[in-house]
Structure 1
């Protein structure tokens, strides 16, 4: 909040000297400070794209289709829940990293903890770096990097000094460490929510079990766009090709052979309940929920994706097209499928950055579900 006040003062200063300001923002304090509001909706993805309102703040009250309106003019504050009782304590001692100097603290286990403070106070150094570093090494498995690092950028980065300090209690209660951030779930268009959540394995198995696929001796690999035998040979399963332009940046165009379907003609001759594997990848999560209603293995992933508010995302939508908040919810949905045994420590660094209040509400529901399953969440 202190940083928001400073930002608002800076914006007021720019406006006072004759500038026009156009701000894309979810923070309600900044929205309330605006002279003119443009609200886009009513929902996300294919369900959005409409200008619901354009005018002074007070006029938004009458727009019932607006999600923003619900939070801007809420008559009551957030509902407070009774605090949970700690099931133990994860204690750190003598921690030094960046601006942290010989810090000792303890985090309650089996509950959700929020670490707060002004920007630059050391929150991320304590939780996302020192805590993650110490717990990862104590578990014998330092946190794996999710993506390939940018080699050229890495040459300009100074090596980070290791964390000084240690864990003195509570590590025996933690079985796994999961850091959920807003980084992309994949660096290439080949990755999508169907592959990331593991759902696509079950979908491919359904296609391989159809009578026509069995007669042709097709296995599940035939329906993978990463395997040569089933994918389009021209675009190699990408669905598009790179067009090199002389003296201009390269552009992407739909594959002239498969027209974006990713698969070869023989693979697309197989259908499951009237749809090809390419048709299934073009379904939204909501449409797939109805289509695979009698396939429990597929519905398990679809259920949590719907619960986290991603019902509008297409199954085959490239991961590179997802926003940071969407990628984060995909990661949480994936963990919700396999965190029923409890004992995991989830660490999230400023997870509400860039999220609409309605998305924050969904995020809190997810985090509470993780805690109710016996896990520890530190935000």
Structure 2
């Protein structure tokens, strides 16, 4: 059975916000004169406090509009670097070309800019889920408060694999060692001294509820939720990760083993842990790529929660079920390359679905009809 991923508007009418012309937005972020790749003098408007899906065939210019022009223009006007929630770019990477254009209104409704992309959360096995999300800091404090740690005068730093006193001296806390191969790229293998635990034997003598610090890193998110059920500071980030469909990942799983989609959801989980004060613009590029429909539902539940908290979400998207549940749709095209680069249609999903010039419209219309049919069944 198909599920509508939109939200119910309780402020005025009680219907789906995507179908409500009165409750759709509290303002507009308007861009004009955009020149970037195949975009030539394009204007676009994004409703604030809403979820906007930007659609179009591959090469139409939707990523140029959202992941480049929108980020560049808003980032420049906010007077601070774009918060990519990511590691610095490789200095050897080719610098992107400049974006031309201007913001003509609505910037006063944006206080913060966050890009949640699919770039790795780290480039070496030392980076992992627990350290990136910050939950490992709370875990280390729990271990430092145990009687054995107090007797040995171990502080929280002792349980970090980045500190010399507590980590394995052979692999320096990585759990892996690099093996050089002749005429081939180097590979990583488990450390023969600590067998991948990352820690010195003395550190592993300290346990919390029967678990060593290495045991904790070996737990999946799902199992860790049970283990730390009575520790709110640890449970909160774990619960967000689980709600995003990442319950199967290990806390110590190296960043090099994570897919782009997993990295993106970890970044989103890190952002969701923060107090939501509204006024943040979140930008995502194809966040549902490769996800099972169940995981798509979980992801959209969290993104809708950000919007309900007063934030704005703009995402490039191909999944018509997600697009049908958006508050606003911007379709870029009509073709690819020189045949694209224009805003073909913009508005509520039901409006865009009726636009003849849009190549997205027939598929969106089909999805909306299927949702309407499913909703009418008892």
Fold equivalence (TM over 0.5): yes
In structure 1, what is the equivalent of residue 144 of structure 2?
Answer: 208
Q: Match for residue 75 of structure 2?
A: 136
Give the Å deviation of 1:260.
0.9
1:114 is paired with a residue whose SS is strand
- Give me the whole-angstrom Cα distance separating, in 2, the residues matched to 1:211 and 1:105: 60
Residue 99 (structure 2) pairs with residue 163 (structure 1): yes
Q: Does 1:116 align with 2:55?
A: yes
The CA deviation at 1:80 is 5.2
Q: Which has the higher contact order (CA 8 A, sep 6+)?
A: 2
TM-score, with normalisation over the residues of structure 2? 0.76
**1:126 aligned partner:** 65
Preserved CA contact (<8 Å) 1:258 1:264: yes
Normalised TM-score (structure 1)? 0.76
User: Could you say if the C-alpha distance between residues 249 and 100 of structure 1 is closer, same or farther in structure 2, counting changes exceeding 3 Å?
Assistant: closer
Corresponding position of 2:346: none
2:322 aligned partner: none
Give the structure 1 partner of residue 359 of structure 2: none
1:312 deviates by 1.0
Judged with a 3 Å threshold, the aligned counterparts in structure 2 of structure 1 residues 85 and 144 are, in CA distance, closer, same or farther, namely closer
- Alignment partners' CA distance in 1, 2:45 and 2:73: 13
Cα distance change on mapping 1:209 and 1:77 into 2, 3 Å? closer
SS of 2:157 mapped into structure 1: helix
User: Which residue of structure 2 aligns with residue 31 of structure 1?
Assistant: none
> In 2 relative to 1, CA 249–280 (structure 1 residues): closer, same or farther, beyond 3 Å?
same
For residues 30 and 190 of structure 2, the distance between their equivalents in structure 1, rounded to whole angstroms, comes to: 54
Q: Which residue of 1 aligns with 2:247?
A: 311
Secondary structure at 2:54 match in 1: coil
Contact 2:29 2:47 in 1 (8 A): yes
How many residues align structurally?
A: 301
Q: Does 1:298 align with 2:234?
A: yes
Pairing 1:60-209 to 2, within 5 Å after superposition: 74=1, 76=2, 78=4, 81=7, 82-83=16-17, 84-143=23-82, 146-152=86-92, 154=93, 157=94, 159-209=95-145
Query: Residue 369 of structure 1 aligns to a residue in which SS?
Result: helix
Q: Evaluate the alpha carbon distance shift between residue 312 and residue 223 of structure 1 in structure 2; reply closer, same or farther with a 3 A threshold.
A: same
Matched residue, 2:376: none
Provide the rounded CA distance (Å) in 2 between the counterparts of 1:186 and 1:116.
30
For the 8 Å contact 1:339–1:373, the answer to whether it is kept is no
User: Does the CA-based 8 Å contact 1:133-1:142 persist in structure 2?
Assistant: no
Equivalent residue number for residue 37 of structure 1 = none
Is 1:323 paired with 2:259? yes
Moved over 6 A (4+): none
Question: Contact (CA 8 Å) 1:110, 1:374: kept in 2 or not?
Answer: yes
User: Is this contact kept in 2: 1:339–1:370, CA < 8 A?
Assistant: no
**Secondary structure, in 3 states, of the residue corresponding to 1:342?**
coil
Q: Does residue 273 in structure 1 map to residue 213 in structure 2?
A: no
In the TM superposition, residue 250 of structure 1 has moved relative to its aligned partner by 3.5
For 2:180 and 2:69, locate their aligned partners in 1 and report how far apart those are by CA, in whole Å. 46
Q: Show the 5 A alignment for 1:345-364.
A: 345-364=281-300
Provide the aligned C-alpha RMSD in A.
1.7
Distance 1:288-1:151 versus aligned 2 partners, 3 A rule: same
Partner of 1:45: none
**Quick check: 2:5–2:300 contact (8 Å CA) kept in 1?**
no
Aligned partner (choices 337, 343, 366) of residue 302 of structure 2: 366
Q: Secondary structure at the match of 1:133?
A: helix
Q: Residue deviations 1:222-244, cap 9 Å, x none?
A: 00001111100000001122233
Question: Which runs of 5 or more structure 2 residues have no equivalent in the other structure?
Answer: 8-15, 18-22, 316-378
User: Does 2:153 match 1:217?
Assistant: yes
The question of 1:376 aligning with 2:312 is answered yes
Structure 2 CA distance for partners of 1:222 and 1:116, relative to 1, 3 Å: same
Q: What do residues 58-78 of structure 1 show as CA deviations (whole Å, max 9, x unaligned)? A: xxxxxxxxxxxxxxxx4x464
Q: Is the 8 A contact 2:135 2:237 kept in 1?
A: yes
- Partner SS, residue 119 of structure 1: coil
Q: Contact 2:83–2:113 at 8 Å: present in 1 too?
A: no
